[in-house]
Amino acid sequence: MAVLGISLVKNGFRYCVLDGNNDSPTIINFNKIEISLSHNPQKLMNWYETTFQNLITNFSPTIIGLKVTLDAKKDEIAPWYYPLGLIHNLSYKNQIKTVEFVPRNFTASKFGMHKSVDIYDYIDKNFGMFKPKWDKHQKYALLSAWMVMYEIK
């Protein structure tokens, strides 16, 4: 049962698809998707809608975790909040639950580990390091997917 994690960034997004369970998740796929901000908002949202629908169609997630940013500046509103609305709408149409997270939600104790564990180092040691894409935003996508595994009953 696949779960999808998405981390929106100003110039695109990162995603990670996990399978398995919360005790032993396995990476199925991940990627860094970059866009040109020169598109007008209508074309950009059409691109996001198509891209998000392709992810849903290709991986059939049972639930989607979304890392969101609460303090967007004016020039970040369209690339962060508009796609967030689109993914919620597509999730609704495809009957997929979504759960939102902010970076401070990603603590070791949420994953059943001692609070002293650095969750980002844990990811590198246990999932691997996939350069050049393996940055904090890619880890946010993985953590968003992993967190929603705990939502599945």
Q: What are phi and psi of 6, to 5 degrees?
A: -130, 135
Q: What are phi and psi of 20, to 5 degrees?
A: 100, -140
Please report where in the chains the tokens 């199925």 appear, as a residue.
28
Task: Give residue 73's pLDDT.
Answer: 73
Q: What are phi and psi of 33, to 5 degrees?
A: -110, 120
Quote the DSSP letter at residue 38: T
* CATH number of 119's domain: 3.30.420.10
100 contact partners, CB below 8 Å, separation of at least 6: 65, 66, 67, 68
When pLDDT is averaged across residues 32-49 and rounded to a whole number, the result is 82
Task: Give residue 59's pLDDT.
Answer: 98
pTM of the model: 0.91
Task: Give residue 129's pLDDT.
Answer: 81
Task: Give residue 38's pLDDT.
Answer: 64
Helix, strand and coil content of the chain, in percent to the nearest 5, comes to: 45, 20, 35
- Residues 28/19, Cβ–Cβ less than 8 Å: yes
pLDDT per residue over 104-152, tens digit each? 899 999 998 999 999 999 999 988 887 777 889 999 999 999 999 988 8
Q: How far is CA 41 from CA 46, 47, 78, in A?
A: 8, 10, 7
When pLDDT is averaged across residues 11-31 and rounded to a whole number, the result is 93
The count of structural domains within the chain is 1
